[in-house]
Amino acid sequence: MYKGQDKKELKKQLRSLFKSMDFVSSNFRDSDKMGKKEFQAFFNIYQQLGLAWEFLGLQCKHWDGYKKTKDKKEICKICGKVKGADDFYILLTRKGPLKLGVKVKPNSQKTFETKEDAQIVNETIDFYGALVNVDVHNSYKSRLFGKGIKMAAERIVKVKEENVECSVDEHVIYIRLRDKDRKVGRKRYGGFPWEIRKKDLKHFPVIFDFDEKYRFLGLTILR
């Protein structure tokens, strides 16, 4: 098959695929009227169509160039893939872990003028009620504190479940318990365990895990 034929055929297949995807997603819109079984069937069909999109997209050489979307991304006029993110994929499999995107880390030594220019990804997924946020950016000059402060390149992952927030970056693992009844303006302290008096330590429902050489292995917080 010569190139022109390739392109024509692919365009045709993608057009009909997008029609099918639109049809399924329009059914999702009034999914509250749907039974559980029916919803599952539509969900599965959408996943399968998504897979077909992935495969067809791989054949696209983005011959017709890109168009700008409202959120300033450039997407291929034919296959709808985002420019410069060809390795990005959404794949919800039935077996094994669900996968959304590929792992990203800071990828430049440069300090950028603005956070937007330095940002690689900052996205949140609401996953069965738990919020997961991944924020990856290169170094940039912050104007937050008047004079430009250089913010370091980072990859920060945050998970929020009910009143518990956990944030993990290269240097710190931070767990915060949000208490709705806590009055605004009340003080917040911090300290290493050996700095706190034994009788005060007893307020903290924390268990340390360690090995025979007292190497730290983890901790448990009782709720």
Summarize as ranges the residues that interact with Zn ion (CB under 5 A).
Answer: 60, 62, 76, 78-79
Q: How far is the CB of 119 from Zn ion (least distance, A)?
A: 24
Select 17 or 79, whichever has its Cβ closest to Zn ion: 79
**Tokens, residue 158:** 């945050």
Measured from the Cβ of residue 174, the count of other Cβ atoms closer than 10 Å reads 12
Q: How far is the CB of 16 from Zn ion (least distance, A)?
A: 16
- Cα first-last separation, the chain: 64
Select 67 or 178, whichever has its Cβ closest to Zn ion: 67
Q: How far is the CB of 45 from Zn ion (least distance, A)?
A: 23
Q: How far apart are CA 182 and CA 180, in angstroms?
A: 6
Select 76 or 153, whichever has its Cβ closest to Zn ion: 76
C-alpha closest to that of 104 among 118, 92, 121: 121
Select 86 or 113, whichever has its Cβ closest to Zn ion: 86
Select 57 or 136, whichever has its Cβ closest to Zn ion: 57
Select 64 or 209, whichever has its Cβ closest to Zn ion: 64
Q: How far is the CB of 86 from Zn ion (least distance, A)?
A: 9
C-alpha closest to that of 64 among 1, 3, 111: 3
Q: How far is the CB of 21 from Zn ion (least distance, A)?
A: 16
Query: What is the amino acid identity at position 43?
Result: F
For residue 219, how many C-alpha atoms fall within 13 Å in the half-sphere facing its CB? 13
Q: How far is the CB of 51 from Zn ion (least distance, A)?
A: 17
